[in-house]
Amino acid sequence: MTNPLLADWKTPFQIAPFDRISDADFAPALEQALAAHKAETDAIAASPEAPGFANTIEALEAAGRDLDRVLSVFFTVAGADSNPDREELQRQFSPMLSAHFSEISGNKQLFARVAAVWEQRDSLALTDEQARVLMLSHRGFVRAGAALTGNADARMKEIKGRLAVLGTEFIQNLLADERDWFMRLQEADLEGLPDFVVSAARAAGSEKGADGPVVTLSRSLIVPFLQFSPRRDLREAAFRAWAARGANGGRTDNRGIAAEILSLREERARLLGYDSFAAYKLETEMAKTPGAVRDLLMAVWEPARAQAEADAAVLTDMMKADGVNDALAPWDWRYYAEKRRAAEHDLDEAALKPYFQLDRMIDASFACASRLFGVEFSPLDVPLYHPDCRAWEVTRNGEHIAVFIGDYFARGSKRSGAWCSAMRSQSRFPDVQRPVVINVCNFAKGDPALLSYDDARTLFHEFGHALHQMLSDVTYESVSGTSVARDFVELPSQLYEHWLEVPEVLGEFATHAQTGAPMPADMLDKVLGAANFDMGFQTVEYVASALVDLAFHDGPAPSDPMERQREILEELGMPAAITMRHATPHFAHVFAGDGYSSGYYSYMWSEVMDADAFAAFEEAGSAFDPGRAEALEKHILSTGGSRDAAELYTAFRGRLPGVDALLKGRGLAAE
Active site residues: 462
Residues with Cβ < 8 Å from 377, sequence gap 6 or more?
366, 369, 370, 392, 393, 394, 404
**Listed residue (437, 373, 371) closest to 633, CA to CA:** 373
Which DSSP symbol is given to 519?
P
Residues with Cβ < 8 Å from 246, sequence gap 6 or more?
170, 173, 174, 177, 252, 253, 254, 255, 584, 585, 586
Helix ranges, 530-560 (H): 535-553
**Listed residue (44, 29, 22, 286) closest to 141, CA to CA:** 44
Instruction: Report the distance separating Cα 433 and Cα 426, nearest Å.
Output: 5
Instruction: Report the distance separating Cα 427 and Cα 121, nearest Å.
Output: 23
Q: Are 171 and 192 in contact (CB under 8 A)?
A: no
Query: At 145, which amino acid appears?
Result: G
Instruction: Report the distance separating Cα 11 and Cα 20, nearest Å.
Output: 11
**Listed residue (19, 23, 31, 21) closest to 1, CA to CA:** 21
Cβ–Cβ contacts within 10 Å for residue 197, how many?
24
DSSP for 587-626, written as a single string: -HHHHSSSTTTTTTTHHHHHHHHHHHHHHHHHHHT-TT-H
DSSP SS3 for 339: helix
Instruction: Report the distance separating Cα 371 and Cα 397, nearest Å.
Output: 13
Instruction: Report the distance separating Cα 448 and Cα 219, nearest Å.
Output: 19
**Listed residue (17, 68, 16, 21) closest to 40, CA to CA:** 68
Distances (CA, A) of 149 to 106, 107, 116, 272, 392: 9, 11, 18, 11, 50
Q: Are 540 and 575 in contact (CB under 8 A)?
A: yes
Instruction: Report the distance separating Cα 163 and Cα 264, nearest Å.
Output: 7
Query: At 569, which amino acid appears?
Result: L
Chain centre to alpha carbon of residue 541: 17
Q: Are 399 and 66 in contact (CB under 8 A)?
A: no
**Listed residue (316, 311, 345) closest to 328, CA to CA:** 316
